[in-house]
Amino acid sequence: MNTYLNALGVTCTLGTGKTAIAEALFAGDDSGIRQEAGWIPGRTLPLGAVRTPLPATPEGLPDNRNNRLLLAAALEIEAEIRDAIARYGNERVGVIIGTSTAGIEEATQGIATYQREGAWPPDYDYAHQELGAPATFLAEWLALAGPCFGVSTACTSGARALLSAQRLLRMGVCDAVLCGGADTLCRLAINGFYSLEAVDEARCNPFSQHRRGINIGEAAALFLMTREHGPVQLMGGGASSDAYHMSSPDPQGLGARHAMQAALLHAGLQAADIDYINLHGTATEHNDSMESLAVSALFDPTLPCSSSKSQAGHTLGAAGALEAAFCWLSLTDARPERRLPPHVWDGQADPALPPLNFTAVGSCLPAGGTRYLMSNSFAFGGNNACLILGDAVVNNATAGDAA
Catalytic residue among 148, 280, 327, 343: 280
> Of 258, 266, 314, 343, which residue is the catalytic one?
314
Of 12, 155, 174, 386, the catalytic one is 155
Q: Is 314 a catalytic residue?
A: yes
Going by C-beta distance under 8 Å and a sequence separation of 6 or more, which residues neighbour residue 347?
Answer: 208
- Number of CB atoms found within 10 A of residue 191's CB: 14
Catalytic residues, by residue number, are 155, 280, 314
